[in-house]
Structure 1
Amino acid sequence: MEFFGFSQTADIALTLKDADTREVAKIRGNSGQLETHYLFYDGESVSGIVNIAVDKKLDHQGIRIEFIGQIEIFNERGSQHNFLSLVKDLSGPGELTHKKSFSFDFRKVAMRYESYVGENVALRYFLRVVVMKRIKNIVREMDVIVHTLSSHSDTGQAIKLEVGIEEALQIEFEYDHLKCHLKDMVVGKVYFLVVRVKIKGMYISIIRKETVTTEWSTDSSDISGDKNLAEYEIMDGAPVKGETIPIRLFLSAYELTPTMYDIAKKFSVRYYLKLVVVDEEDRRYFKEEVLNLTSKQIFLKFCFIGEIQQLKKDSLISISFS
C-alpha cells in the first residue's frame, strides 16, 4: 500500500518499510466512511521511504518528515492539539531535478493513546512530508491507526449495595469490576422476583458518552455527547413471576474502542450498558451500568441487581446479570 500525492511541482509517494507484512485496521473517518490504514502499537518503530518525483527543477528550502499525534475538537476554533511531534530532516536546502528517495526511521515511538473518531473529537496519528518553499510548502500526509493494549487486570473484588425506597422498592446491587475485551461476550440473565407492572418488552442498549474539555470550558460547561450504538431486545411480551431470561451480548458486532480516561487532559470516552423496561403505556424504566472496555482479553464476571428507575410504589422487579 502506498500513499500518493499530486502537485504541479512534485509527486510524493510514502511507503512503509514493512508495508507488505504489516497488519491493517479500519476506522470510521470524519466523513462517516470506513477507512483502512496501517496498524501500529505503542513502542513500535515507524520507518520507510519517501519518493519525490519532479517534472522540472524544484528549488526548496529543505525537506522533512514528521510523525504527529493530534487531537482535534470539532466545535473549537484552532482545535488541533499535538500531543506527539517527531521531526527528521531528510534534506537541507537545494534543488530536485529528478526522482529522489529518502529513508526515515522513527525508533520505538511512544504511542500511548488509541486512535479514535467520535461525535465531538478525533485522535489521529499521521506521517507528514514537508517540502519547504519560499512561497508555499508542499505537504503530504499519511494516516496510521494505533491500538493500545491494557495492562489492567480484574481484581474480582465484589461491591454490594442494598437500597430501599420508602419500603416500596428493595434493591440489592452487586457487581464485580466490569472489564470486557472488545471481542468479548457478556453473559447474564434477567430474573423476575415480583412483577406488578404490565410489561410488554425489554432491551439492552450500549451507550457511548464523550466528555470533551475545551480551552474556554469549565467543569460545568464541558462538551458532552451520548450516542446509542446498539439495541438488543431480550424480551417481547409480558413476563411472569420467577421467569428467567438468559442474555448473550456479543461486543464484536459493534464499533467499540477501549474506555478512555482524560486523554491528554482533553477528552474521555465511557461506555454503559443500559437496561430498559417498557410497559404497556410505553413508559420506560431504566438502569445504566458502566461497561469498562479494554483491548486485552481478561476474565469477566459480572453480577448486577439494580434499580429500575421510575417504578411505581406497588411494583418490584429485581434484575441480575451473573
Structure 2
Amino acid sequence: MDLDAYVNEHNAEWRRLDELSRRRRLNAGEADELVALYQRAATHLSLIRSRSPDPILVARLSRLVLAGRNAMTGTPSFSMATVGRFFTHTFPLTVYRAWPWWCGVATAFSLFTFTLIGYVAANPEVAGYFMSDGAISALVNNEFEGYYSQFLPQNQLLRVWTNNALLTGEVLASGVIFFPVVYLLFNNALNVGLIGGVMIAYGRGDLFFGLIVPHGLLELTAVFIGAGVGLRIGWSWVAPGPLRTRGRALAETASEGMLVALGLVGVLLVSGLLEAFVTPSPLPNILKDFIGFIVWGAFLLYVFILGRNAEAEGASAAIEGEIAQESLPAA
C-alpha cells in the first residue's frame, strides 16, 4: 500500500469531514454528506490500521472518526438511565464474568488464613515470633475491641473506606504483573490469621468473630474481586486467545476492570457503614453477625443473578458510546 498516494487521494474528503464535524448546524444535504464521509473515513482507518499502521495518520483519522460520530449523535450527556444500567447490568456483568478468578482468590486466602488461625490458636507461642507479650496482652484485653470505637462513626467510616479502597485499588492495578497481588494478600492473610489465632488462644474467639464478621465478609469479598479482576487483566496478555492481539486483550480486559473498580467504591462504602455503625454497636454479636451475613448474601445474589441475566441478554460491558474496533466498516 502506497501510503502517500492513499493520503493524497483521500485528503480532501478528510478535510471536508473535519469541516462538517465542526459546524453547529447542518442542512439536510450536509448531514447526508457527513454520514457518508464518516463511513468512508472509518473504512479508511480500518484499512490503514491493518495494512500500513502509521501512528500519526491513525491518530488523525481516529480523531476525525470520533468527531464525525459526535457530530451525528451529539455529545453524550449525564443520564440517570445510564447510571441505573451500570448498577443493573454493567457492574454485575463484569464481576460475574470474573467470578472464577475472584472465587479462586477467596478460596486460597480463606484456606491459608483459617489454617494459620488454627495453628496459632493451638500453638500460642508462635505469636511470640511476631509480637511481644505486652502487645499480645494489649490486643486481647482492649486494642482489638477498641479499634472499632476509637473514632466517631463518621470519621471511622471515611478512614476505613479510604483504606480499603486503596488496598482494593492496589490489588486490582498490580494484577497485571501478578506478584504484588500475592504479596499484598499474603500480608493481609498473615495479619488476620495471627490476630485471630491469638484471640482464640486466649479465649476471645467470640469477640474476634463477633467484631470482624459484620463488615469483614463484604469488605474481604470486595478485595477478592479486585484481586481476581486484576489477575484476569494480567492473564489477558499472557493468553489473549486466538482472535485477539495481546494489546487488544489487555485493553478490553482493563476497561472492564476500571468499571469493576468504580462499582467497588460503592460496595466498600456499604462495608464501611457496617464497620462504623454496626460493628461497634451494643447489639449482641450474633445479631451483628446476622446483619453481616444478610448484606454479604444480598451482594452475592445481586452479582450472580443480575450478572447472569445480563450475560444471557448479551449485554456489553463496554463503556457506553465507545466504538468497538469490530464495529467499524470493513473494506
TM-score bin, normalised by smaller chain: under 0.3
Higher strand share: 1
TM-score, normalised to structure 2's length? 0.24
TM-score by length of 1: 0.24
Greater RCO between the two (CA within 8 Å, min separation 6)? 2
